[in-house]
Every structure is written in structure tokens, then in C-alpha cells.
Amino acid sequence: MKILVTGGAGFIGSHIVDGLLAAGHTVAVIDDLSSGSRDNLPSGVPLHVVDIVDDKAVARVFAAERPDAVCHQAAQMSVSRSVREPLFDAQVNCIGLINVLDAAAKTGCRRFVFASSGGVLYGDVTKPAPENTPANPVSPYGITKWVGERYLKFFAEEHGLATVALRYSNVYGPRQNPHGEAGVVAIFCKKLLAGEAATINGDGKYVRDYVFGPDVARANVIALTGDLPKVQPKTLTSLNIGTGIGTDVNELEASIRVHVGKTLERHGRSATLPPPVHGPARPGDLRSNLVDATLAGNVLGWKPTVSLDEGIARTAEWFAAHAAR
């Protein structure tokens, strides 16, 4: 199959590209490189440096590539930025999505996989939420993900696409951008490796379901290329992708500090790390969010394979090895 990955030079997208190539598929990438990097892509993968808000540029890429399937990862990802700049958030996450869907429908694409978010869609939940939990987004970012799924359903029914919305919980891992506002594991790893204190927003008792990036990439590869009886033309299939295990930010920081310390010791560096400091709470942040990924197991045969402890260790090691980035 030929697959076009938007946001393919980014954190999750580049792991998806790796998985697709390993499975023998042909891949092309759209990315504006605002948070992604060419360094995340293997040599030889076509990269179109395009802003998905530019409908004409998107259409030109699709006319040239004519993919069999599309994996749409490009997005504005920060909840707090969406609160400050809801118009920008909607331009990227709604208008950008519509541009990609429209171009896909016009060039014969058969399957479309969308990065949705169980991490914001269900609102505050203290138990793992299944897909039939009523949507209750409390931020513009969450609203755009819910609206995005409605557009997937429309394009599926109108144009015959088989569409899949993967509702990620909190994704972390190697290649995550530590310089933005999203991606607490990457941000904490970068800070602690530099010998600086991690800043915890509010009281740190914000519970999240952390899932490892390569595990999420594997779910995307299956959704894009698998022989899936429940994924059919003219339908939308929404699936949670997470672990169902909650960890608060205080616990997360403590675990990252331990693994960064071990990583520094292996690299012959001092492992004396400062304790965290607490800053103000961020607007739009949920107190608790967990997802139930049972349905993804039934439809995709997917389940997470990397524990949070192992994932943090691998992530800390990657950031140590790429300290200059």
C-alpha cells in the first residue's frame, strides 16, 4: 500500500512511518516542521513541507502522491494554547483536517486514520472510559477532536471512505518535542538531564493514562493496513488507545527522576537531581482521565506492550543520547 502520513516528521508520526516501512509499505509525508524534524525520517522518504491549512498545497501533494490510505497526525496539540488561541487551534485541527479529508476523497483514498484524543474527549473521568462514554470536552482542543470525528463520519458516508478515529490517551516516548507545552514526560526528561528542576503545574494530582509512542504507532499501522472486518467503507470506527492505568504528575516526576538518575550514571555524569517545583495550574487541564482500550483489542487485536516504567527508562535514555536536540 501507499500511505501518506501528515505530521509524519513529528513524534508519533515518525514512529508510524517506521512501522509502515518495516511492514513493506510505501510512505510519503506531509509536515510543516513546526514541531517535527527531518532527522526523525529515514532517508528516501518523500517529505512535502506543507501547512495543512493551505488547501491548494495539500491538494497538490495528494494529486502527486495519490495514496491508498492516509494517516492524519498533524495537529495543534497543546490544550493550554487552545484555550489562549482557540481560532488558531480550530484553523489547524478543523480546517486542516477538512483540507486533508477533501483531498483524500478526491484522489481515491480508501482508508483514513485520524489521531483523535480520549485524553480530552471524555472530560474528567476517574475510571477507564469506554468509547460510548458521552463526549464532554472542556477545552477548544478537545472540541476540535470531537468535531473532527464528526467530519470523518460525514466524509465516510458521503465519499465511501473507511475511517478510523484512534482516541489516544497521553502519549509519550522517544522523539517527543520537549520544547512546547504538551508532552510532560519529554519536558521533565529534558529538564532533569540538564540538572534543572521539573516544574509541576498546580498540586500535581492530575491523573493521566500514559501510553508509549511506539505502541500507539503499532495501533495506527494495524488500522491503516490490517484486514479488519469491522472497518468498512462508509463507516467511522472510534477506538481508545491507552493502558487504563492512572498515574498522577507527582508520581510521574518521581519515576522520571529515578530513571534520569540511572541514565546519567550510565553516562558517567552526576546523578544528583533537584526536587520539583510547583507552578500555577494550567487552564483547561482535566483532573483525571483514563481510557478503556478493550474495543481496540477486539477490532485491531491491539494492546499496549510497554509498561510506564520501561517506557520512561527508554525515553530518558533516548533524550540523553540526543542531548543536543
Tens-place pLDDT, residues 155-203: 999 999 999 999 999 999 999 988 766 689 999 999 999 999 999 999 9
Output the pLDDT for position 162: 98
CA distance 261 to 272: 7
DSSP-assigned letter for residue 28: E
Does residue 168 have an active-site annotation?
no
Residue environment code for 57-88, b if the CB has 16+ CB neighbours within 10 A, otherwise e: bbbebbeebebbbbbbbbbbbbbbbbbeeeee
Output the pLDDT for position 51: 98
- Report whether pLDDT(271) > 80: no
Average pLDDT estimate for 276-290 = 89
DSSP-assigned letter for residue 281: P
pLDDT band of 269, cuts 50, 70, 90: confident
Average pLDDT estimate for 297-320 = 97
Digit-coded pLDDT (tens) for 241-251? 999 999 999 99
3-state SS class at 285 = coil
Digit-coded pLDDT (tens) for 82-112? 999 999 999 999 999 999 999 999 999 999 9
Q: Which CATH architecture has domain 2-172+211-242+292-300?
A: 3-Layer(aba) Sandwich (3.40)
Neighbouring C-beta atoms of residue 272, cutoff 10 Å: 8
Q: State the pairing for strand pair 246-248/207-212.
A: antiparallel
Nearest to 176 by CA among 318, 38, 306: 318
- % of the chain beyond a pLDDT of 70: 98
- Report whether pLDDT(325) > 60: no
Left (φ > 0), alpha (ψ -120 to 50) or beta: where does 252 sit?
alpha
Catalytic residue (one of 122, 141, 168, 172): 141
Lowest mean pLDDT among 174-188, 199-213, 220-234: 174-188
Question: pLDDT: is 10 or 78 the higher one?
Answer: 10
Output the pLDDT for position 267: 84
Residue environment code for 96-126, b if the CB has 16+ CB neighbours within 10 A, otherwise e: bbbbbbbbbbebebebbbbbbbbbbbbbebe
User: Within the chain, where are the H helices?
Assistant: 11-22, 55-65, 79-84, 86-90, 96-106, 118-121, 140-159, 184-193, 213-225, 249-266, 294-300, 308-321
**Domain boundaries in the chain?**
2-172+211-242+292-300
Output the pLDDT for position 180: 67
- Report whether pLDDT(324) > 60: no
Nearest to 195 by CA among 260, 253, 273, 267: 273
